[in-house]
Amino acid sequence: MFNLIKYEWLRRWKFFLAGILIFIIANLEIISQLSLQKSPRNLTIVLMGLVFAMALALFFDHIGRLYRSLFSDEGFLEFTLPLRGYQFLGAKILAVLLECIALGIFVSIALYVDYLYLNQFFPREAPTPLREDILIIIVQIFFLLLLSYIIFLLTIYLSMTLSKTIFASLKHGKLIAFGCFLVIYKAIQRITEITHSHITDMSLPGIIMARPDWLTLTAILIVLFISTSYLLDRKINL
């Protein structure tokens, strides 16, 4: 399983390195402009645009990871590996999860370094330090976004897997699978709405979601993961 992650990263280390370098350069550029009390230059805008484009590319790459395995010739290599469905899918999801966490940590460190710099040399321009309770909310929002993102990815992965398993022999398998994606997405939305409306009273100040909310999202993630793994393991039709 970890070997699969290794090759996922070996494949795109140049992309990650380029992203990190562009982000650092863009960040330095912004800081230097801020410290000189100048408005952002064209270069700053271009660099930030590049960072945004790379983030978007990473999102499509996350979707494309299973798509490539299912719909390209590489699938003939990956699906003949002696791995179970959950190991195969787990490797893909774990790689995405670790990348998102690494990205979050990297951006946080960069912002913290910016803050230290501004605080030391330009105390007036430096933002006020974050209170602990706000910090906790930010961390919660990060993990909530991460969990929602993984659920969204798994919904896409399940739909793609359906088109290469249950609907593989049908002429419009991909179209039906897309219909399934819309249905599953709507169903997840409805489930989270229902559970949330029942538990809003339990939410505490400073806590953005009550425990049952997290449990619901985690349960959805587990169901999506198990069903996709099962199909990849037992029903694949390349």
Partner 1 sequence: MLKINSLTKKYFTRTVLDNLNLTLNEGKIYGLLGPNASGKTTLLKIIAGVTQPTSGSFSVIGKKAGVDTKKIVSFLPTINHLPRWMTVGNCLSYFQDFYADFDPKLAKERITAMGLEPKQKVSSLSTGMLGRLKIVMAMSRHAKLYLLDEPFNGLDPISREKVLEIILESSQEDSTIVIATHIIAEIESIIDEVIFLKEGQVILMGNVDDLRQTRQKSVEELYREVYDNV
Q: Is 60 in the site for partner 1 (CB under 8 A)?
A: no
Nearer to partner 1, 167 or 181 (CB): 167
Q: Please report how close the Cβ of residue 224 comes to partner 1 at its closest, in angstroms.
A: 21
The answer to whether 141 touches 54, Cβ cutoff 8 Å, is no
CB 70 within 8 A of CB 164: yes
- For 77: left if phi > 0, alpha if psi spans -120 to 50, otherwise beta; the answer is alpha
Calculate helix-pair angle for 211-234, 85-121, nearest 10 degrees: 140
- The correct pick among 79, 106, 117, 230 for binding partner 1 (CB under 8 A) is 79
d(CA 13, CA 150): 22
Widest Cα–Cα separation across the chain:
66
Q: Is 18 in the site for partner 1 (CB under 8 A)?
A: no
Q: How far is the CB of 177 from partner 1 (least distance, A)?
A: 16
Q: Does 13 bind partner 1 (CB under 8 A)?
A: no
The C-alpha atoms of residue 204 and residue 189 are separated, in whole angstroms, by 23
Quote the least distance from Cβ 148 to partner 1, whole Å: 31
Instruction: Tell whether residue 172 is a contact of partner 1 (CB under 8 A).
Output: no
Tell me the closest approach of the beta carbon of residue 56 to partner 1, in angstroms.
21
- 82 counts as binding partner 1 under rule CB under 8 A: yes
Q: Give the list of residues 6+ apart from residue 75 with CB closer than 8 angstroms, or none.
A: 68, 69, 238
Stretch that binds partner 1, among 19-27, 108-116, 139-147, 163-171 (CB under 8 A): 163-171
To partner 1, the closest distance from the beta carbon of 180 in angstroms equals: 18
Report d(CA 214, CA 19) in Å as an integer: 31
* 31 belongs to the binding site for partner 1 (CB under 8 A): no
Compose the 103-142 pattern: x for residues touching partner 1 by CB under 8 A, - for all others. ----------------------------------------
Instruction: Report in angstroms how near the CB of residue 32 gets to partner 1 at its nearest.
Output: 36
Q: Are 129 and 138 in contact (CB under 8 A)?
A: no
Q: What is the DSSP letter of 15?
A: H
Minimal CA–CA distance to 104: which of 153, 138, 133, 128? 138
Structure tokens at 133: 């309770």
Total residues at the site for partner 1 (CB under 8 A)? 25
Which phi and psi (to 5°) does residue 168 adopt? -60, -35
For partner 1, which residue of 39, 171, 197, 204 counts as binding (CB under 8 A)?
Answer: 171
Q: What residue ranges bind partner 1 (CB under 8 A)?
A: 3, 6-7, 10-11, 73-77, 79-84, 169-171, 233-238
